[in-house]
Amino acid sequence: MYAERPSRLAGAVVWTAAPAGPRAWPVLPDGCMDLLWHEGRLLVAGPDTRAHAVDGAPGRWAGVRFFPGTAPALLGVPAHEVRDRRVDLADLWPAHRVRSLTARVAAAPGPARGLEEAALALAADGDPADHLAGRIVAALQAGRSVAATADGLGVGARRLHRRSLAAFGYGPKTLARVLRLQRALALARGGTPLAETAALAGFADQAHLTRDVRRLTGMAPRALLGGGR
C-alpha cells in the first residue's frame, strides 16, 4: 500500500508504504533523492538511472522525496555519490547528527510527519537553494536541448555537466531523458493515447518512447502503466 501527499517543503512529496508481498513495484527514475525511514532506521535514496527493484522488506516505510536538485544542499552529499544506491544516513553524517534526527522523527506523531519536520528544519538551517539547478530542471522539463539549456543559462557545457552531477547525480542528457519519461507517464496515466503521449512528451514517435521506457525501466509502456509508482 502506497500513499503520498504534497509536503510543506516546496516541491517535495511525503509518502508512506507497506509492502504487500515479497516483491513490491519498482521505483522509477524521477531525478529525485529521498530521505527514508524504515522501522526506526534512516536512509538516503540516491537518484536512479534505472528502475530500482524494491526487495519487499517487511515493515513500514516513509519518506520525503525532494524536488530534483534540492537534496544535496539539504543533506550535504553530492548526488552522484549516492547514485543508484540506498545508503544508511549514518554512513553520510556524524553519529551525533544521526541520533538527533532519529530522535526527532521518533518523537513525532508518525514517521512521515517526523521526516517532513526534519526536512523543513534542514531547509531552514542549511545552505541556500541551488537556483541554477532549478533553472536546469525548468529548461529541460520544457523540452529544451542540453545545448540550448547551457546557452540560455549562460554556462558552458562542462560547467553544466559538473553542476548536474552534483545536483542530480548524472549529466544533463540523462536528466532530460528521466524528466521526459516522467512527462510521458503523467500523460499516459491521464488517459492520453501512447502515440499522442510520445509527441507531446518530446519523443520522435511511439517506437522511440517504447525504446526509452524499456531502457530506463526494463518494462514496456503498457506493462508499466498497469502498475503503481
Q: What is the pLDDT of residues 95-137, one digit of tens each?
A: 999 999 999 999 999 999 999 999 999 999 866 667 899 999 9
Domain-wise residue ranges, the chain: 2-125, 131-225
Residue 229: band (very low, low, confident or very high) from pLDDT cuts 50, 70, 90? very low
pTM of the full predicted structure?
0.91
Query: Which residue in 89, 67, 49, 70 sits closest to 167, CA to CA?
Result: 70
125: number of Cβ within 10 Å: 8
Q: Is-contact 50 76, C-beta < 8 A?
A: no
Residue 18: band (very low, low, confident or very high) from pLDDT cuts 50, 70, 90? confident
Residue 54: band (very low, low, confident or very high) from pLDDT cuts 50, 70, 90? confident
Domain 131-225: which topology? Answer: Arc Repressor Mutant, subunit A (1.10.10)
